[in-house]
Amino acid sequence: MSKASALARYLNQTAAWIHYSSAAPTFDSYGNPTNYTTSTIRCRTERYNRLARDKEGREVVSDTTVYTQSAVVVGDMIEARKVLNVSDWPDFDGSIVGYEAVLE
């Protein structure tokens, strides 16, 4: 059994995902972001406290980790919480089959 099929069975929840199309969101005259897409992703959410580093390298405490096969990146939003850190999950052949996202 590959990691991809094992991970797919594990993803029994869904979450709202906001993916920004550039590194930094752009805003309209009312302060609303304009360069994003929204979708619902299959995931597994686990809640436990852990130390993580944000993209500036600061240590922060996170209480939520999300596992998914969707290509989330640092700065995206999952369930209205900012993604602080993302780790790839490689399969045995080296291909990426999933992601571990630590939320703010």
Characterize 74-88 residue by residue with b for buried, 16 or more Cβ atoms within 10 angstroms of its Cβ, and e for exposed.
Answer: ebbbbeebebbbbee
Looking at residue 2, its pLDDT comes to 67
Both tokens of 92, joined, read: 């045995």
10-residue mean pLDDT series, the chain (104 residues): 74 92 74 84 93 86 94 91 91 89 93
Looking at residue 24, its pLDDT comes to 67
Report how far residue 48's alpha carbon sits from residue 9's, in angstroms, rounded to the nearest whole number: 22
Query: How many other CB atoms are there within 10 angstroms of residue 23's CB atom?
Result: 9
Helices (H), the chain: 3-10
Looking at residue 65, its pLDDT comes to 95
Both tokens of 20, joined, read: 């920004």
Looking at residue 23, its pLDDT comes to 64
Looking at residue 86, its pLDDT comes to 93
Report how far residue 63's alpha carbon sits from residue 47's, in angstroms, rounded to the nearest whole number: 5
Looking at residue 67, its pLDDT comes to 95
Q: Are the CB atoms for 87 and 94 separated by under 8 Å?
A: no
